[in-house]
Structure 1
Amino acid sequence: MNAPVNDRQVEVLRWIADGCPSGQWAEGENAPKISAAALKSRGLATVTGHGKTWTATITDTGKYYLEHGAYPPGAELAATIVPANRVRRSTMPGLDLSEGASATLAEAKVLIKRLQSEGPVIFADPDESIRARYRRILHACRTHQLVPAGQELRFTGRSSGDIVIMLSTGSPADATKWDRIRTTTRKVTTNLVELRSALESTSILQAVTEGVRPRAIEVVLGLVEELQPHGLRLG
């Protein structure tokens, strides 16, 4: 996914390109592995193993990024949509443009069909470009009257948090379900930057002594990294 890469991630990418030499990071520091996981999700590196068997390798896309400071021309933005009852990775089906519809309209049709067959979907912690994309898709759903009769389209994550989209009949059960989804997405974050900020600035780790707290934060963020290959997230 061609999401933005911050300075820290570029530094880790260079380290991976150099063969992950020892001595660059403090012993036991998990931050490079967390950044490597982010680089993997962008297609810039591959990561295998855990603990002592952990290894990372730069990809051709990663080499291009280091050389040019940008993704290769034509790199596509991969959309990751997951069923609400289980966070896992999947990709949008191929778009049907046979009717000459615009790409956005075609994506809107695919989204409605998926909501009908699978129920609510989640797009985990997307960047702003994807939020804007789904705002356009949802607008197309309404403008072209794609929402099935007797149902309404519910959407949260317009500016932050997970994007959650749901078709609702307006029944009490659907209303309760949506209230639970909306409350959770507003109060819980799985974004690594926001998670680190919360650990550093709130009272979550108040019971941990100040001298040990930085290590405790790295342990928690390290757990985030270990969960990702299993399709799980910590928030």
Structure 2
Amino acid sequence: MQRWSPLNERQLTLLRRIGVGKDPVSAKHPELAATVYALRNRGLVVTPRHKGVWHAEITDAGRFYLEHGHHPDRPEPGSRSRAVPGRDTQTSDVPLSGQELIARVQRAGGTLRVEDPDEETRAAYRRIIHAAKQNGLVPDSMLLRHTGRSAGDLVIRLSSGGLEDETDWNRIRLGARDKVSHRPDLITTVAKDPGLLTVSDELRSRALRLVQDLSEQTERRGHRLALSRRRKPRGLFLQVGNHQITVTITEETEEQTRELSDAERKERGIYAWQRVAPEYETVFTGRLRIELGLPAHADKREWTDGRASVERKLGEILKTVERCVQREEQERLEQQRQLDEQRAQSEGQEAEKRARWQRAMAEARRQSTEDQRGRTLAAALDGWTAAREIRALCGELEVVAAETDDPERMAELRRWIPWALGVADRLDPTRNPSVLSEFEFIPDADDLRPYLGDWSPKGPYREYGKMDEAPRDVNDPYREMSWFARRGRAQWRRR
């Protein structure tokens, strides 16, 4: 199918809706995804992402199609195709350069899918992909990958190489290699594998025509009928957006009583007048049945021949599938919305918890710093008081030494006086500024724990097992003076 091939009715209706309709088309409409991708591969729409959700937007080529009724790249009637010389019309849609390939993949939202191209087209794409890599045309920190080099759909992807992107690429790669969706190959594969259709020989040709009709109507509605070759369970399935619904085509059977022939009676030694238990056998009824792997809430999951054949019920079958897919997608979006709300609520609670912990830590640092300052000032006051008392004592000793008649006693007392005055100078903050030097106190976890209650100083969580008792005056309204009350007598002698 060429880039300028006419759109089917479903594709044209969706293009008008995207171009001039008021109802936006996005990932919230999974039943339209396959049709959107088909339009995107022709350059009629783009699907930029916003907050992880793609939205379909019409391009200039799409507006041209709506105005003139054909693709702007369509060759003029009666003229030759605009293909490059030496290339037939099947490969004329291949990018002419690596830059064009990268631009086309980016316009397609990062993943470009070419449905079941022929061998020459595959080879042309492989050459362009190789040239893009060799010439350094791949954007920085991005990887250019492709799958389907030999068979199936050709999928080209620009990826970041992250873990989530790697998982998504593996899903796309394995799915593309597993599926057979090209109608001739699909019919041929089904015809070669009798186990895929549980029908009698009389109905096998009709069942194959049913598969072909289902494939045609599925594609007209923007979906695909494919065959899984490797996965279990193997068999047919409908690809509707990102949803896969198994399709089982069988012929109904019934139990019938089997009469023994005369030869069987003779072989078993049964007389003509002798009564025997009836025997039953399973026989085909000639009625085809289609069973879909739809969820329990589906309106219907089986269709059989009745007043109308199953071939005439294919439209009803596909509409049922689309309703189920739409409902499942709505449920998935609702679940995602609830998860997002729960995640947002949890993140809000964690943020509030961290904010309360940070406020508690800031207050604990303030209180710990204030207490340390109080203890430092109390020690300085103790030293200043002790220095005054020592100097007073030295004055008394000088008087006693002057009044004593014993020269040795006088000398002994006067030896003490200089040393004691030196001690007083070291204790006195007015003589020794280092006692009240620049205050730098960085509290550690043990310093903060007494002021945090049951908060942990290491993070916004509770630490009930490590609660230390805070100072008795930690909440004292007179805490600025509480260090003085705890000071007691000067302890300079213990320094």
What TM-score does the superposition give when structure 2 sets the normalisation length?
Answer: 0.28
1:88 aligned residue: 38
Count residues with an aligned counterpart.
155
- Deviation (angstroms), 1:218: 0.5
Counterpart among 166, 180, 187 of residue 189 in structure 1: 180
Q: 1:179 to 1:159 in 2, by over 3 A?
A: same
1:113 aligned residue: 103
Counterpart among 155, 162, 168 of residue 159 in structure 2: 168
Does 1:231 find its partner at 2:222? yes
Counterpart among 206, 224, 235 of residue 215 in structure 1: 206
Counterparts of residues 13-52 of structure 1 (less than 5 Å): none
Q: 1:203 to 1:135 in 2, by over 3 A?
A: same
Q: Quick one: which amino acid aligns to residue 180 of structure 1?
A: R
The 2-side partners of 1:48 and 1:119 are apart by 25
Q: Quick one: which amino acid aligns to residue 212 of structure 1?
A: L
The 2-side partners of 1:179 and 1:48 are apart by 32
Q: Quick one: which amino acid aligns to residue 101 of structure 2?
A: L
Aligned 8 A contact 1:112 1:147 in 2: yes
The 2-side partners of 1:126 and 1:210 are apart by 34
Aligned 8 A contact 1:87 1:232 in 2: no
Does 1:134 find its partner at 2:134? no
The 2-side partners of 1:182 and 1:85 are apart by 21
Counterpart among 117, 135, 144 of residue 144 in structure 1: 135
Q: 1:215 to 1:42 in 2, by over 3 A?
A: farther
1:199 aligned residue: 190
Identity of aligned residues (%): 35
Q: Quick one: which amino acid aligns to residue 109 of structure 1?
A: Q
The 2-side partners of 1:116 and 1:224 are apart by 30
Q: Quick one: which amino acid aligns to residue 120 of structure 1?
A: T
Give CA-to-partner distance per residue, 1:46-101, whole Å, 9 cap, x none: 9999xxxxxxxxxxxxxxxxxxxxxxxxxxxxxxxxx9895414425899xxxxxx
The 1-side partners of 2:105 and 2:189 are apart by 33
Aligned 8 A contact 1:84 1:121 in 2: no
Give CA-to-partner distance per residue, 1:172-217, whole Å, 9 cap, x none: 1111111111111111111122211221122443422222111011
SS, match of residue 199 in structure 2: coil
More moved, 86-95 vs 113-122: 86-95
Greater helix proportion: 2
Q: 1:198 to 1:42 in 2, by over 3 A?
A: farther
The 2-side partners of 1:125 and 1:184 are apart by 14
The 2-side partners of 1:85 and 1:115 are apart by 17
Structure possessing the higher radius of gyration over alpha carbons: 2
The 2-side partners of 1:105 and 1:225 are apart by 29
SS, match of residue 88 in structure 1: helix
Aligned 8 A contact 1:105 1:140 in 2: no
Q: 1:107 to 1:214 in 2, by over 3 A?
A: same
**Unpaired segments ≥5 residues, structure 1:** 3-40, 50-82, 96-102
SS, match of residue 200 in structure 2: coil
The 2-side partners of 1:162 and 1:213 are apart by 28
Greater strand proportion: 2
Aligned 8 A contact 1:205 1:213 in 2: no
1:23 aligned residue: none
The 1-side partners of 2:195 and 2:4 are apart by 30
The 1-side partners of 2:200 and 2:185 are apart by 22
Aligned 8 A contact 2:35 2:222 in 1: no
SS, match of residue 154 in structure 1: strand
Q: Quick one: which amino acid aligns to residue 171 of structure 2?
A: R
Q: 1:227 to 1:42 in 2, by over 3 A?
A: farther
**With CA pairs under 8 Å and 6+ residues apart, which has the higher RCO, 1 or 2?**
1
